[in-house]
Amino acid sequence: MLPPPYAKNYQAVHEGRCYRISSVTPEMALRLGKLCGNGPELWLALQTRYDLERLSREKAAEIESIPTLRGTSERLSDIRCLTKV
């Protein structure tokens, strides 16, 4: 990412905003994509990748406890919690 003193000189990124970014929002992705000339998709993909990596570490035990559906007898429609009752 651009260092804050460099990026804040452009109207695309408001002064002070670079210092407070906790995640890249779609709006910020549009601004950064325009500023850097690489489009918003890259910035959103990077944020998604970061979020998934962080959550997979934080929630590893919880996610591991969820069973994986296998075979035709365990179709999603057969699972009561995933269908409207």
Residue for token digits 């695309």?
12
Mean pLDDT per 10-residue segment, the chain (85 residues): 53 56 89 95 97 96 92 62 59
* 77 located within any domain: no
The pLDDT assigned to 70 comes to 82
Q: 9: burial class by Cβ within 10 Å (0-12, 13-18, 19+)?
A: exposed
Q: Is the pTM of this model over 0.85?
A: no
Residue range(s) defining the domain that contains residue 22 = 1-59
* 73 located within any domain: no
Report the distance separating Cα 29 and Cα 40, nearest Å. 5
Closest residue by Cα to residue 30 from 5, 12, 10: 12
State the total domains in the chain: 1
The pLDDT assigned to 69 comes to 86
Here the CATH number for the domain that contains residue 50 is 1.10.260.40
